[in-house]
Amino acid sequence: MKILLVDDHAVVRQGYASLLRALLPEVQVREACDGEQALQMVQEEIPNLVIMDIGLPGISGLETTRRLRQRLPQLRVLFFSMHDELPLVRQALEAGALGYLTKTSSPEVLVEAVKRTLAGHAYIEQGLATHLACNPLGEGSSDPRLRGMTQREFEIFVMLAKGMPSRQIAERLCISGKTVSNYLTLLKSKLQVSSQAELVHLAIDTGVIRLGLESA
């Protein structure tokens, strides 16, 4: 069995790769640092499973998954992300992912998710699965403003709504601070809000972020 682990943080990626090799000695683990490298590596050698982060620089994990699935409809993708917002989970599943779990999960849960998705079964982290079941149509799904955003716009929207500084967003996505500012201006126009505070309120009202819950 071959796994491709896609994460732009080298220490995190190498740590999880070592963990998987230790707990699943029969599995070969390769690593990619971004979406472009993942697309190239899959073209060279098709893995049995891709473990994908969402917040990748350049091509997002969502878009990378969509492109991979267009080329290889049977390819299995498991999202392993710091984000636990239901709209992002839904977008991951709509992009073709077979599973989703957060980086707060224990090693045992990660191994269980890998085993199940390798076997072709869907796997959603228990807490996320419960929230999805309680909100089958999606909190805020009736708001056309959210449906009109691109994947990258939505990703930056979530980060801004969580209060992440523009500089940190720029470093996280490997883009310039000016580009982040341009996205903020675009988002305020598209979402019909006049300030970042109103953007946060919209995110809360539509369920994009949940009060009292922190992502890892």
Tens of pLDDT, residue by residue over 86-102, are 778 888 888 899 999 99
Query: Side-chain half-sphere of 101: how many Cα atoms within 13 Å?
Result: 21
Specify the pLDDT at position 40: 96
Residue 77 has pLDDT above 90, yes or no: yes
Whether the predicted pLDDT of 126 surpasses 90: no
| pLDDT for residue 117 is more than 80 | yes
Q: Look at residue 143 and tell me whether its pLDDT is greater than 70.
A: no
What is the Cα 17 distance to its own chain's centre?
18
Is a pLDDT exceeding 50 seen at residue 216? no
DSSP H helices in 86-213: 86-94, 107-118, 126-134, 144-147, 151-161, 166-173, 177-191, 196-205
pLDDT category of residue 215 using cuts at 50, 70 and 90: very low
Domains identified in the chain and CATH numbers: 2-134 (3.40.50.2300), 144-205 (1.10.10.10)
Model confidence at 130: pLDDT above 70: yes
| pLDDT band at residue 149 using 50, 70 and 90 as cut-offs | confident
The overall pTM is greater than 0.85: no
At 140, the pLDDT band (50, 70, 90 cuts) reads: very low
pLDDT at position 214: 38
Angle between helices 107-118 and 10-23 (to 10 degrees): 70
Rounded mean pLDDT, 20-38: 94
